[in-house]
Homo-oligomer: A and B are copies of this chain.
């Protein structure tokens, strides 16, 4: 049942191929100094950088560039961004890239004008910026679909020396003001990054779906989104330049994690928690860490909610219920998920990600325990990881 909640999500989404026009329009609402953040430079080879810079010039903005934002952005890099943003007193942070760049930019936006240890205050203690603390507006031009970071207030940052990857959900002040979503910008991604993004979306949906057996509109919407992700993924892995499939994937990504689906209901999030810990140890791509453990995880919780897993099998994977016990149907649902992981080329085990027996204790220690479904113990996490090794 939907509990009481407040939903407010004012990100303006410009979806489609008119990036330059959209960006000029969006930039009108902000002051002259723009901090342009991006990653490793792929945007310079695929034309995205040129389009963005052209729109910034046309808008008369003064641009300060900050490149080299890595997947799993680090605390060290965050501190660099804080320094640059503050010294230049920027009016907007424009993130060009995927979820890491957007997450990073929101982190800088929240932390730049905080006087004190931002990591400790925001990520470790989980505080939101005080109402009298300035936060810098963030906008994005997305080049990778998956995290949903373009329309939520979340920011995942990794303290590398301490192997701590922490995701913080800031309040509505950190939700990006705008996002430009051009499916064509995702065409040139390497296949494995596209697939990782697809599984990230699926995992966001599943972690909000597996959270109880009540009757909630949200779960029906999630089923619709899961069905769409599966259908489009099957087209996109064979034909990555298929606009229809890539646009559906991009749109699913935004709605899978833009706060709508968490309204008034519980979530699980243990697959994400374990995957974050794996990421802190191995630099595995986030989506691949998720897919590598999902089979084992859902088999592990099968006894906790066989009923919901059976519904998942029937509605999402269209497995006929006739002639099957609920348990058989539930198991068939997990098997269908595992088959699909292999079909699209996502990681199906942690061995390939570089996880070794020697890391298990450490990963379990780094996993933030909890879970809406079953409160996992440290030993449960080790068991799930062991079940995720290549047989």
Contact = CB atoms under 8 A, between A and B. Distances in A.
Contacts of A16: 2-5, 264
B216 A1 contact: no
A64 interface: no
The 6 closest A-B pairs by CB, nearest first: A4-B16, A224-B224, A220-B228, A10-B10, A220-B224, A8-B12
A223 interface: yes
Given A1-B243, A8-B12, 17 more contacts: A1-B244, A2-B16, A2-B244, A4-B15, A6-B12, A8-B11, A8-B13, A214-B244, A216-B244, A217-B232, A217-B251, A218-B251, A220-B228, A221-B221, A221-B228, A222-B224, A224-B225
Interface residues of A, number: 45
Given A7-B12, A7-B13, A247-B2, A220 B225 contact: yes
Contact of A5 (B15, B225, B227, B243): B15
A356 interface: no
A42 interface: no
Contacts of A8: 10-13
B252 A217 contact: yes
A171 to B, nearest CB: 13
Count of chain copies: 2
Contacts of A247: 1-2
A114 interface: no
A70 interface: no
A215 interface: yes
A232 B248 contact: no
Contacts of A235: 215
A15 B135 CA distance: 27
A9 B215 CA distance: 26
A164 to B, nearest CB: 34
A263 interface: yes
A13 B2 contact: no
Nearest to A10: B10
B15 A216 contact: no
A89 interface: no
B18 A13 contact: no
A14 interface: yes
A217 B221 contact: no
A301 interface: no
Contacts of A5: 15-16
Interface in A220-273: 220-225, 227-228, 231-232, 235, 243-245, 247-248, 251-252, 255, 263-264
Contacts of A17: 4
Given A16-B264, A224-B222, A263-B15, A216 B248 contact: yes
Nearest to A151: B7
A1 B184 CA distance: 13
A251 B3 CA distance: 12
Q: Which of A4, A7, A11, A217 has the most CB of B within 10 A?
A: A217
A231 B235 CA distance: 31
